[in-house]
Amino acid sequence: MNSATKIFLVILRLAIGWQFLFEGAEKLYTVYSPTQDTKPYTSTGFLQQATGPFRDQIVAQVGDPDKTALDRLQPETITAAWRAYYDQFAQHYALTADQRKRADALIDKQQKDLVEGKHMFKNAYPGRTVPLEETLAQRVADYRQVLAEVQEREGTKLRVFNHDVEQADLQLVKGQAADRRRELLAFVGDQTNAFKKSLDDLLTPDQKAKGAVPETPAPRAHWLDWDNLTWLRWLSAWTVGVLGAVMFLSNLGGILRHRARGDLGFFGRSVAWLWTLIGLALAATAAVYIYMHWRDYSRTEIMDWLSSWGLLLIGAALLLGLATRSAALAGAVFLVMLYLWWPPLPWVPLNPKAEGAVPFINKNMIELLALLVLATTRSGRWLGLDAIIQVFNPWRYRRVPPASVPAPRQPARHMVRV
């Protein structure tokens, strides 16, 4: 390999590392420094729109927004939530028997109006909006019909034609389904607020002086509330686990590779086995710690945490040339998952944010192949911290067989000596 090839491979590694580092840092910045214009990063929306062969398994991990919405739109679910709030309301304000009786009648009236009453909704079409009056059941049935149309277009027509023949029409129908979902959830929220206001009208001035009913805080990612000590523990656990796994796998592979050759001396074998056992112990200890302390976290939180910090650490490792091959493989695995979530296959819907429409190949695949090429090179030793780590590599102490001395050349028999 000539010098020019090494230089361009190092530049390629630095470019990909900078992209990973910047994307991870940007996601973490939105989480820890949210503003009115930027919402905290979450992978839920991206995963819910997956279209690859593992779509059902991926959506099952983060939850289907349409299924969740349909469950919340059931009248039984809505009234159960009202009853739960009413119990908390009655306990907080110590309602009298007369107030409880009036509140029960109010709940029955609100429930009847919710189920049997007609309400104003809107159907949005390109360039116009059509108002209409429907009951909640009719509007939910219309929402289900739009979802069925989306499923038919995605699951039947695309596979029959073996091409994304829908494109803009499919995005339009998906937009209509999302509009129905937001409209219905907003309607339920308005009905709930009206129900709470009607309960407030039953209170006396002395009861109102107690203040509002304490609300349950919105669910918040656990890792947003970590203090400095907790951050140090988790960062130490993941660092020890990754380094231990790298030490174990690399040294075990070296032992198996050099065992048949017999070119590793006693000192080299001893050091290699020592580093292998140390790596195994570190990886096992970190894995047990992470498992014991992460069981209460939701799968969405785990995915958000791994994707944000994973991109940041992979990018930093590629830029610094630290564990370059392992970092390149980790980045390749991440890109494989992205490819499977939004594969550029002719019979699945195209990613609306993708640039170009080339079948089977997209930018994730190209970058994936580039990382696999980097994983087969020693670019970290050419420019990076791997060059320093190489000094402590036990394989440098293997036995080198003595060079064979070539036999002296004998003159040919047909030559005539003078």
pLDDT in tens, 55-65: 777 777 777 78
Residues 347 and 278 both lie in one domain? yes
Residues 263 and 350 both lie in one domain? yes
Q: Is 311 exposed, middle or buried (0-12, 13-18, 19+ CB in 10 A)?
A: buried
Give 160-167's long-range contacts (Cβ < 8 A, gap of 24+): 161/347, 162/346, 162/347, 163/346, 163/347, 164/346, 164/347, 164/348, 164/349, 164/350, 166/349, 167/349, 167/350
Does residue 74 form part of some domain?
Answer: no
Q: Which residues contact 264 (CB under 8 A, 6 or more apart)?
A: 255, 258, 272, 395, 397, 398, 399
Residues 242 and 389 both lie in one domain? yes
SS3 of residue 133 by DSSP: strand
Report whether pLDDT(279) > 90.
Answer: no
Does residue 347 form part of some domain?
Answer: yes
Does residue 44 form part of some domain?
Answer: no
User: Range of 294's domain?
Assistant: 3-39+228-396
Residues 289 and 159 both lie in one domain? no
pLDDT in tens, 233-244: 877 888 888 888
Report whether pLDDT(306) > 60.
Answer: yes
Does residue 54 form part of some domain?
Answer: no
Residues 241 and 373 both lie in one domain? yes
Higher pLDDT, 277 or 351: 277
Share of the chain above pLDDT 70, in %: 78
Provide mean pLDDT across the span 272-288.
87
Which of 185, 201, 217 represents a domain boundary (last residue)? 201
pLDDT in tens, 141-175: 988 988 888 777 766 555 544 455 555 666 777 77
Residues 248 and 160 both lie in one domain? no
What is the reported pLDDT for 147? 85
pLDDT in tens, 316-342: 999 999 889 889 999 999 999 888 877
pLDDT in tens, 386-398: 888 777 765 555 5
Does residue 84 form part of some domain?
Answer: no
Q: Does the predicted model carry a pTM greater than 0.75?
A: no
SS3 of residue 282 by DSSP: helix
Residues 185 and 282 both lie in one domain? no
Does residue 53 form part of some domain?
Answer: no
Residues 196 and 237 both lie in one domain? no
Q: How confident is the model at residue 116 (pLDDT cuts 50, 70, 90)?
A: confident
pLDDT in tens, 187-225: 999 989 988 888 888 888 888 888 888 876 555 555 566
Q: How confident is the model at residue 231 (pLDDT cuts 50, 70, 90)?
A: confident
Residues 315 and 382 both lie in one domain? yes
> Token digits for 403?
């060079």
Give the integer Cα–Cα distance in Å for 282 and 243.
Answer: 8
Residues 373 and 306 both lie in one domain? yes
Does residue 7 form part of some domain?
Answer: yes
Does residue 59 form part of some domain?
Answer: no
CB neighbours of residue 380 within 10 Å: 27
CA proximity to 210, closest of 121, 94, 68, 322: 94
Which of 160, 182, 201 represents a domain boundary (last residue)? 201
Total domains in the fold of the chain? 2
Residues 24 and 122 both lie in one domain? no
Residues 128 and 180 both lie in one domain? yes
